[in-house]
Structure 1
Amino acid sequence: MTPAEVLVDALTRTADGVTDVLDRSTEDDLAHRPTPDANSIGWLVWHLARVQDHHVSGVSGLEQVYTAQGFARRFDLPFDDGATGYGHSPQDVAQVRPPATLLREYSGAVHAHCVAWIGTLSETDLDRVVDKRWDPPVTLGVRLVSVADDSAQHIGQAAYVIGLLGR
């Protein structure tokens, strides 16, 4: 298995988790927040797709699926199109209430976009420095592992919340 195949497998597991959580959720479940400051299932799925889209587009030079395929318009959120949810307040989280169909379409489109591009990478590509602001500088491989890790954490959180609801 190549390193790119490992990354694709990790992102595919998250995509499968998104499908599972959305299949088990009602529209009300997607907006449920265990506490007023907690993230909702809908926000978590939107955010993990936004981070994948944003970060992979940033290192690939490709336009984000969110804007290129009209998802920013379809979500119609009161944020800049570049928003990923990072730094959102509880009030911001409350404004993210998309239907499961839209979350499914967007996360599926992001997954397809990401795995298609990652599948073209070689081992040497993964050593390319993509962010010199850190010490040591961040390589493409490290950035993609970070994306996979962040995605796995957020789908785990969403699965936990749907479990709290008994689904």
Structure 2
Amino acid sequence: MTTGAELLTDAFGRVQEAVHAAIEDLDAEEMTRRIDPAANSIAWLIWHLTRVQDDHVANAAGLEQVWLAGGWAKRFGLPFDDKAIGYGHTSEEVGSVRVDDAQMLLDYHDAVHAQTVEYVRGLQDADFDRIVDRSWNPPVTLGVRLISVVQDTLMHVGQAQYVRGVLGREPESGS
């Protein structure tokens, strides 16, 4: 029988693979280019989805965020609060997420992935019913929170892959 922990470990592994596919071999300009002035950049999308995973899983697990514990906030040096995860960011704030190379984003994502998987692998199916957030009606269980993180991260990495595809197209010649 496959457990919930095994399924979630596989799902988070798929997120990690998709993140790598979305940004490997991109340079700083490619990662920060936007398909229109108000669009999200690849750098922001990958940073945001990783911050959400880091924040939400750490909170549910009672762990410190990798962003803070691993010194990533200082390395990135972004112009907003260290606890920011991107929700409600303005177009200007999206544009301020810049990285020198894809490897830094990949390394941060991989560190978050490692903490996530270590936590998830230790879960038993009964753990998924534990309430982790009472601010919603109905209250959010651990299982619902983890599935929400998987869904959110997969949607954002899909957006990053789409942007990469759009930016990678050669301009059509005039007819």
**TM-score interval w.r.t. the shorter chain?**
over 0.9
The residue number in structure 2 matching 1:119 is 121
CA distance in 2, matches of 1:135, 1:104: 35
Letter in 1 for 2:133: D
CA distance in 2, matches of 1:8, 1:37: 34
The residue number in structure 2 matching 1:108 is 110
Is 1:91 the counterpart of 2:86? The answer is no
The residue number in structure 1 matching 2:59 is 58
Query: Which SS does the other structure have where 1:124 is aligned?
Result: helix
CA distance in 2, matches of 1:65, 1:125: 23
CA distance in 2, matches of 1:137, 1:27: 41
Count of aligned pairs between the two proteins: 167
Moved segments of 4+, more than 4 Å? none
For the Cα contact (< 8 Å) 1:67–1:81, is it kept in 2?
yes
Letter in 1 for 2:33: H
CA distance in 1, matches of 2:131, 2:12: 21
Letter in 2 for 1:67: L
CA offset digits 1:62-90 (Å, max 9, x no partner): 10000101101000011111000111000
Q: Structure 2 unaligned segments of length 5 or more: list them.
A: 170-175
Query: Which SS does the other structure have where 1:72 is aligned?
Result: helix
Letter in 1 for 2:17: D
The residue number in structure 1 matching 2:43 is 42
**Which structure has the larger Rg?**
2
- Cα separation, partners in 2 of 1:13 and 1:44, compared to 1, 3 Å: same
CA distance in 2, matches of 1:164, 1:35: 11
Query: Which SS does the other structure have where 1:130 is aligned?
Result: strand
Q: Structure 1 unaligned segments of length 5 or more: list them.
A: none
Alignment of 1:143-154 (within 5 A): 143-154=145-156
For the Cα contact (< 8 Å) 1:24–1:162, is it kept in 2?
no
For the Cα contact (< 8 Å) 2:11–2:150, is it kept in 1?
yes
For the Cα contact (< 8 Å) 2:24–2:103, is it kept in 1?
no
Q: TM-score, normalised by structure 2?
A: 0.93
CA distance in 1, matches of 2:104, 2:27: 13
CA distance in 2, matches of 1:32, 1:141: 36
CA distance in 1, matches of 2:85, 2:155: 16
CA distance in 2, matches of 1:78, 1:24: 25
For the Cα contact (< 8 Å) 2:25–2:102, is it kept in 1?
no
Q: Which segment is superposed worse, 24-33 or 50-59?
A: 24-33
For the Cα contact (< 8 Å) 2:129–2:141, is it kept in 1?
yes
Letter in 1 for 2:114: A
Cα-Cα RMSD: 1.0
- CA displacement at 1:7 relative to structure 2: 1.0
Letter in 2 for 1:89: T
Q: Percent identity?
A: 51
- CA displacement at 1:101 relative to structure 2: 1.5
